[in-house]
Amino acid sequence: MTLAETALPPSQEARALLIAAASIAILAAVWILQGMGYAPCELCLTQRYAFYAAIPLALVTALAAGRSARGLARAGLALLAILFVASAALAAYHAGVEYHWWQGPTACTGGVGSLDVNDLLKSLDSVKVVRCDEVQLRIAGLSLAGWNVVASAVLAIYAALAARL
């Protein structure tokens, strides 16, 4: 089997299973990093939803392809492509927040609403807010949000190609 056949197998079933496997691997990686002490911010957690949704969708798509429901499998792969485009857009938004190109959600970027000093002191003892506009870890110069842009874009292109083939 060639590298091209491994990366883009001839069956829609195998392509959908590869997307499910990639989504599982990405989630496993972020859970490992979280276990190592890199706490996710609100936007990081929101970005995971696409991968949580992609796993069952890809498995249902693989099942449809395995039962020769090619139209349904193509629709599933197209939905996966759309899901990952949205994921890439959210990750790009988060990366922009990290680079301070635009303001992020006030819940995790330090926006101050009404402030009661007594409530603030109580909350400092119990709550640690992870800021969305501060990078906790860079790998090869990219933040995890930046890597999510790359991974989601690659998966979107892969799913779109898989749907067309």
Q: What is the pLDDT of residues 99-125, one digit of tens each?
A: 989 988 876 766 555 556 666 666 666
Domain that residue 145 falls in: 9-102+133-164
- Residue 58 covered by a domain: yes
Tell me the angle at which helices 70-98 and 144-164 cross, rounded to the nearest 10 degrees.
160
Q: What is the pLDDT of residues 136-157, one digit of tens each?
A: 889 898 999 999 999 999 999 9
Task: Specify the number of domains making up the chain.
Answer: 1
Lowest-confidence region among 14-18, 78-82, 101-105: 101-105
pTM of the model: 0.82
**Which runs of E-coded beta strand occur in the chain?**
138-139, 142-143
**110 inside domain:** no
| Mean of pLDDT values over 8-19 | 87
Which of 21, 19, 8, 17 is closest to 81 using CA atoms? 19
Predicted pLDDT of residue 69: 84
Q: Is residue 115 part of a domain?
A: no
- Per-residue pLDDT of 61-77, as tens digits, reads 999 998 888 899 999 99
